[in-house]
Structure 1
Amino acid sequence: MTMIANALLALVAALHIYFLVLEMFLWTKPLGLKTFRLTPEFAQASKALAANQGLYNGFLAAGLLWGLSQGVAGQAVQLFFLGCVVVAGLFGAATVSRKIAFIQALPAALGMAAVLLSA
């Protein structure tokens, strides 16, 4: 179960690194516009906000990777950051798109379950 927990942690961290790149560097580029269904005008106007959002996603990824690097001793850190991701995903699902629950919150919730089962 530890291997599954570690794989899910790594997946969630990788997703948040991807979100960081999308929001900080690709927000006004074709991939960012398509991913977030933005007009070029809105993307340009909200570019600074998106970069800030991307930075927070980077902090989540860093925390997850930090917890992962600690092994069993890092389970409290892992659970904390996975919990943060679940809350962020549920908030995004409630305020932006239900799809966020499946892309962000579900993998983190599965990761939390795997971490708890591996304890």
Structure 2
Amino acid sequence: MEILSKILVGMVALEHLYILYLEMFAWETKGKEVFKGSLAPELFKPTKTLAANQGLYNGFLAAGLIWTFFITDHHWAFYIAVFFLTCVLVAGIYGAVTASRKIFFVQALPAIVALIVLHIR
């Protein structure tokens, strides 16, 4: 279970690195494809700075999750992983309620699964 929990934490971290990329560097290109339907096409250019700010926060979430792989104390790594996965979960639930239900399945659900596996290892 420990290996599975690390894989799941890593997958959530990679997802947030991808979101960082989309929102900070590819908002008007790939981001427009990924988020079509959520935002009118003409709004991508004027919201580029806002999206980059959101992307930076997603990068912080990824960094926190990646940090857990370098912590040698298993208890400390567990608590840091729980903290950052819970942050991802809260952000995913908030996004699902305020923006799109799809966010729950893309962001919150993987965090929930990782948290469950983390707790049963």
For residue 114 of structure 1, report the CA deviation from its aligned partner. Answer: 1.0
Query: How many Å separate the matches in 1 of 2:69 and 2:91?
Result: 20
TM (norm. structure 1) is: 0.94
TM (norm. structure 2) is: 0.92
Partner of 1:62: 63
Query: Superposed, which structure 2 residues align to 1:1-119 within 5 Å?
Result: 1-29=1-29, 31-37=30-36, 38-70=39-71, 72-73=74-75, 74-118=77-121
Query: How many Å separate the matches in 2 of 1:39 and 1:93?
Result: 18
Any unmatched runs of 5+ in structure 1? none
Query: How many Å separate the matches in 1 of 2:61 and 2:40?
Result: 28
RMSD: 1.1
Q: Partner letter of residue 25 of structure 1?
A: F
Q: Deviations over 1:65-95 (max 9, x none)?
A: 0113225230000000000000000000001
For residue 41 of structure 1, report the CA deviation from its aligned partner. Answer: 2.4
Q: Deviations over 1:11-40 (max 9, x none)?
A: 0000000000000011011x2111111444
Query: How many Å separate the matches in 2 of 1:79 and 1:51?
Result: 26
Q: Partner letter of residue 81 of structure 1?
A: F
How many residues in Structure 1 have an aligned counterpart in Structure 2? 117
Give 3-state SS (helix, strand or coil) of 1:26's partner: coil
Contact 1:68 1:78 survives alignment (8 Å): no
Percent identity over the alignment is 48
Contact 1:17 1:61 survives alignment (8 Å): yes
Any unmatched runs of 5+ in structure 2? none
Query: How many Å separate the matches in 2 of 1:22 and 1:28?
Result: 9
